[in-house]
Amino acid sequence: MAINWFKYSAPTMFYPLAGKLIPWFAVSSAILFAVGMYLGFVVAPADATQGEFYRIIYIHVPASILSMFLYLVMAAYAALGLIFNTRLSSMMASALAPTGALFAFIALWTGALWGKPMWGTWWVWDARLTSELILLFLYLGFISLHASIDDPRRADRAAALLAIVGSVNVPIIYFSVKWWNTLHQGSTIKFSGTSMQITMQHAMFTMLAACWLYAVAVVLSRVRSIILERERHAKWVAELPEVAL
């Protein structure tokens, strides 16, 4: 049986689908958060050099991975919306931005908390920290450009163009900052094996999955609000049980 995926590119069809999916993502995220926290804080051993302090990676690393990943997803949705003129893609892009910014902020915040005991300072002008900060600026630029244009279609298209320019610029910024200064420890998880203990790895991946599911759940519920707001004059919105009351 062929499924017509394009059916769900219409906000009318996507709204109820998102409503059905949210509880699944939310509940599995909560379960994985609980499991990941247990593995990370109770089961996993203390680190040989960093003691108990290292445990902040279980939130720090997933947050920074997602902050970068969500920017790409956001730019991809924005590009889809710009090229094919699909309203839902643009709505997804603007729903993703606040969550991405939140993860970038969490990554910086937990990084500062980790840096204090390990490097003896809250902040260093290191390549990765700086590029994460710039990523946060890019998110804020996207959000504020979108917010300051009244016409939603123009806002979508202008912000989409900015997101695409930004995503082209991200590697340039990353490498320029990297050559500028590097202090941050290198990646522990590489494709050619890892220097990490197996329980730590499990805890880390569980937390990553939990954060990812959380992001999906939150973005879907935000996109539902955006759909309602944009389509408030449409008949199908007025007929919704939660709107009609």
Q: How far is the CB of 70 from another protein (least distance, A)?
A: 17
Q: How far is the CB of 61 from another protein (least distance, A)?
A: 23
Q: How far is the CB of 202 from another protein (least distance, A)?
A: 36
Q: How far is the CB of 163 from another protein (least distance, A)?
A: 11
Q: How far is the CB of 150 from another protein (least distance, A)?
A: 9
40/100 with CB nearer another protein: 100
Residue 7 lies near another protein (rule: CB under 8 A) = no
Q: Which residues contact 142 (CB under 8 A, 6 or more apart)?
A: 74, 97, 159, 162, 163, 166
CA 178 to chain centre: 23
How far the first Cα of the chain sits from its last, in Å, is 37
Tokens representing 226? 């955006």
Residue 41 lies near another protein (rule: CB under 8 A) = no
Q: How far is the CB of 191 from another protein (least distance, A)?
A: 27
Residue 73 lies near another protein (rule: CB under 8 A) = no
Instruction: Give the Cβ contact number of residue 185 at 10 Å.
Output: 11
Residue 105 lies near another protein (rule: CB under 8 A) = no
| Contacts of another protein in 162-201 (CB under 8 A) | 162, 165-166, 169, 172-173, 176-177, 179-180
Q: Which residues contact 122 (CB under 8 A, 6 or more apart)?
A: 112, 115, 116
Among positions 24, 38, 122, 137, the unique one binding another protein when judged by CB under 8 A: 137
Give the integer Cα–Cα distance in Å for 139 and 208: 21
Give the integer Cα–Cα distance in Å for 186 and 145: 34
Among positions 157, 205, 209, 221, the unique one binding another protein when judged by CB under 8 A: 157
Q: Say if residues 78 and 90 touch (Cβ distance below 8 Å).
A: yes
Residue 124 lies near another protein (rule: CB under 8 A) = no
CA-nearest of 245, 244, 236 to 16 is 236
Site size toward another protein, by CB under 8 A: 23
Give the Å distances, CA to CA, from 11 to 19, 189, 208, 230: 12, 39, 29, 10
Residue 141 lies near another protein (rule: CB under 8 A) = yes
Interface residue list for another protein (CB under 8 A): 134, 137-138, 140-141, 144-145, 148-149, 154, 157-158, 161-162, 165-166, 169, 172-173, 176-177, 179-180
